Amino acid sequence: MPPTVRALIALLYATAAATVAVELVNWAYAPEQGFGLGVRTGWALLRSFGFLILVWHVRRGRAGAKPLGLILAVTTVFAVGRLIVPRSGVPPLPGALGFAVLTALCLAVVVLLYRAPTVDAHLVRHPHRLVVDRRGIGWQESVPRRPPVAAWNLTARVAAFTYPALIAVPALVALGQGGLRRLPVTLLWLGVAVVVGNVLLPIAVFLVRDRGWARVALVVVTVLVLAVDLPLCYFLLGVDGLVRDGGPLLVAAGVALWAVARAKVAAATVRVPSPRAERPVPDTVP
């Protein structure tokens, strides 16, 4: 394993540990340790396991480590940052310093994933799939036919898969703070998260296959998710909830839409030669 890849793995372990440390510091200094802070802190702590999963992908040289690392780094900064800032006053100094260190670590992770040539050469493998051929049934690496297009589509898919969780977190916060009066709305909000997760499954399958309708469908789902979730965050949790819970979802949606736009451009510029075009032209002239 190249030294740069080993440095990336060590950096990912440090980022996972820093995520836990900053969340624990923020919990200790929080003036109100209520249900809402507990749900948001628990979700942020789960991101440390996301970095451990990213380590697994990097060790095996998976190409999907790049989009996973990008969405993890971006959403972690926003998820932790929303908890550092209190409702009133200034953030505690230990929490602010920890957040600055975590932001620097996440930035370093993205730089190594996308700017280090050694890491780029290492992350070339793709997930295996079941293949039936003349030799029988076995698992083989599934290499996409259009690598540049597939990379952006994979980034959009990873970003979109965060929608259900980012919808469910504020819904759970509202469920704990609203009481019985808001119970039907919050349950409907949780139902939206379940529906979005099921709708994204077929879209994600055809998205990595570079289907144009899948990109359009993802854009439509993203717009609908923002149109439903952001108003609910405002009306049920106020401006504070809109910033703390709507902000990370807005960032994930921005990454997904940006990746879809880049995938569309790549699909328009990349041309795959047909089998007929690859046939040798005979030298004889009739």
Instruction: Report the candidate in 171, 218, 170 with the shortest Cα–Cα distance to residue 196.
Output: 218
Burial group, residue 140, by CB count within 10 angstroms (0-12, 13-18, 19+): exposed
Q: Look up tokens 């717009």; give the residue.
A: 223
Alpha-carbon distance 74 to 110, whole Å? 9
Q: Look up tokens 């076995």; give the residue.
A: 138
Q: Which two tokens stand for residue 145?
A: 């036919």
Is the pTM higher than 0.75?
no
User: Between residues 207 and 148, which one has the greater pLDDT?
Assistant: 207
User: Between residues 123 and 149, which one has the greater pLDDT?
Assistant: 123
Instruction: Report the candidate in 268, 241, 104 with the shortest Cα–Cα distance to residue 186.
Output: 241
Summarised one tens digit per residue, pLDDT across range 181-192 is 778 888 898 899
How far is CA 6 from its chain centroid? 23
Q: What is the dihedral of CA 159, 161, 165, 167, to 10 degrees?
A: 80
Q: Look up tokens 């990746």; give the residue.
A: 259
Alpha-carbon distance 69 to 62, whole Å? 12
Q: For residue 126, name the pLDDT band (cuts at 50, 70, 90).
A: low
Q: Which of 62-71, 198-207, 221-230, 277-286 has the lowest mean pLDDT?
A: 277-286
Percent residues over pLDDT 70 in the chain: 77
Alpha-carbon distance 12 to 44, whole Å? 16
Summarised one tens digit per residue, pLDDT across range 78-91 is 777 766 766 666 66
Q: For residue 7, name the pLDDT band (cuts at 50, 70, 90).
A: very high
Helices vs. strands in the chain: H and E counts, helices first: 11, 2
Summarised one tens digit per residue, pLDDT across range 236-269 is 888 878 887 888 888 889 989 998 888 887 766 6
Q: Which amino acid is at 248?
A: P
Q: Which of 91-105, 119-133, 204-218 has the lowest mean pLDDT?
A: 119-133
Q: Find out whether 167 and 186 touch, Cβ atoms under 8 Å.
A: no
Q: Which amino acid is at 176?
A: G
Q: For residue 226, name the pLDDT band (cuts at 50, 70, 90).
A: very high
Alpha-carbon distance 141 to 149, whole Å? 18
Q: Which residues contact 259 (CB under 8 A, 6 or more apart)?
A: 67, 152, 153, 155, 156, 159
Instruction: Report the candidate in 45, 53, 51 with the shortest Cα–Cα distance to residue 23.
Output: 45
All structural domains of the chain with their residue ranges: 1-129, 144-271
- Residue 132's φ and ψ, nearest 5 degrees, are -115, 120
